Amino acid sequence: MEQKYRHKHTSVSLVNYHFIWCPRYRRKVLVGPVEARLKELIKEVAKILDLEILALEIMPDHLHLFVNAPPELAPHDIVARIKGVSSHHLRREFEHIARMPSMWTRSYFVSTAGNVSSETIQRYVEAQKKRG
């Protein structure tokens, strides 16, 4: 996987984040039309935030997102935007999700990845769907 460096007027960067988070009470709600809509929403937010999605796998009770981000964007801002937008839309569009106290837990996992380990993380995220 060839990584593209981001070139700005005064900087060059390669910032990759691996995120994992899950629905409240780890409920298995990220399936079928919810999964498809969530993918659309994540892609929309990624475009707005200038994120490049390197890998995205949605499991029934959690998701893995691996992105290349601009250096001025903090990881907590990325997660907050994606969780906020997706929760808003999914709760409006799916009645069973609207009945949940909240869509997402407040917690999440984030890890940074350099150029060498990015390939390993991408393979790991893509393999998650095959595991179970």
Of 62, 70, 72, 66, give the one whose Cα is nearest residue 111.
66
Could you tell me if residue 50 is left (phi over 0), alpha (psi between -120 and 50 degrees) or otherwise beta? Answer: left
Q: Are 19 and 110 in contact (CB under 8 A)?
A: yes
The single residue of 5, 17, 25, 124 carrying the catalytic annotation is: 124
- DSSP percent split of the chain into helix, strand, coil, nearest 5: 45, 25, 30
124 part of the active site: yes
Q: Known catalytic residues?
A: 124
